[in-house]
Amino acid sequence: MPLRSPTEVKADLLRRAAEIGFDDCRIARADDPRHAGEFREWLEAGSAADMDWIARGAEKRCDPQKVLTGARSVVTLAMNYWQGDWDRGLQTAAPTRGRIARYAWGDDYHDVLEKKLRTLDGFLTAAGGRQKFYVDTGPVLERDFAAEAGIGWHGKSTMLLNRQFGTWFFLAEIFTTLELPSDPPQVARCGSCTRCIDACPTGAITAPHQLDARRCISYLTIELKGSIPPEFRPLMGARIFGCDDCLDACPWNRFAQISRESAFAARPAVAQMRLRDFLELDDEQFRVLFRGSPIKRIKRRGFLRNVCVALGNVGTRDDLPELRKAALDHEPLVAEHAAWAIKQIEQPSRG
């Protein structure tokens, strides 16, 4: 069998990626990331908060050869997860329902994308390559490679923007020793727009392209393991897992299309629950309800902590019986935030 050219391998790779559900597939050179210096400055400023795992992998993030020796190309892939705006009516009709970031409505994207990456890894291995692949799980400055390959451009929110999907897509990468033809980057199209910066409830986007994780609601509700600082609790509203405000504000999302991946659709059992219903979950019930969901990673204690804060912001006196039970929870983290929520609801100004 004659050897195929890099161009032929790439064409076949793109076809296979589309067949198994990826919405875009492009190639970047395995060079040092363009923003490695800014990344190091961000770490030195303490903007990563207590996410020590980011600093531990800093050198690998800045040097692809430390990820995969002999890497020549980075296959960058995107998958749209937009499910439409059906939740807006639900939230309006029942304001005491929690808000979950769209990426976590359905199945865990790590699991969904990794299965597809294994298929492409097998194809590249058959073509003579050695690979390592990641779905937000390894030491990779993934948005730099995706931007270099033309998947999108760096938005002022620090998120990657795409003309077709707006902000609603997952990224994945395959480092390979194969030298494949690279793709050109896109032109940045944010112009003078600052809607994402203006929309952030906590001022976490401190300047264009700069994010202080210590203020970010996604960090506070997902990555932070301990107590949520009291000054940020009232700003969280009904958000119980992540925050989409800077994404929702982006004008490019007017072009967003419904994802063809059904695994990312919202789970009815979760979507229909009121905030106070979550407080009744024990550990086993939590695991069952969120099996295969990204939410499972913060465990019951972290999730109910968030639920208590949300009730403190949008709850009513009807929620007090459940909160008083939660204030006696065996998890001190849950009990602490439940007590805070009770005080918020019992304020005279809340009626």
Largest pairwise CA distance in the chain = 80
State CA 24 to chain mean position distance. Answer: 18
Contact status, residue 247 vs residue 99, Cβ threshold 8 Å: no
Q: Which two tokens mark 196?
A: 């994402």
Strands (E), the chain: 24-29, 73-80, 99-100, 131-134, 153-154, 160-161, 169-176, 205-207, 210-211, 239-241
Contact status, residue 72 vs residue 84, Cβ threshold 8 Å: no
For 274-285, give one letter per residue: b (16+ CB within 10 A) or e.
bbbebbebeeee
Let me know the angle formed at the C-alpha of 264 by 174 and 105, rounded to the nearest 5 degrees: 120
> What are the DSSP calls for 223-267, one per residue?
I--SPPPTTTGGGGTTEEE---HHHHT-GGGGG----S-GGGSPP
3-class DSSP assignment, residue 183? coil
Task: Identify residue 280 by its one-letter amino acid code.
Answer: E
136 is an active site residue: yes
Catalytic residue among 85, 136, 198, 318: 136
What whole-number distance in Å separates Cα of residue 179 and Cα of residue 53? 30
**Of 160, 178, 236, 232, the residue nearest 5 (C-alpha):** 178
Catalytic positions? 136
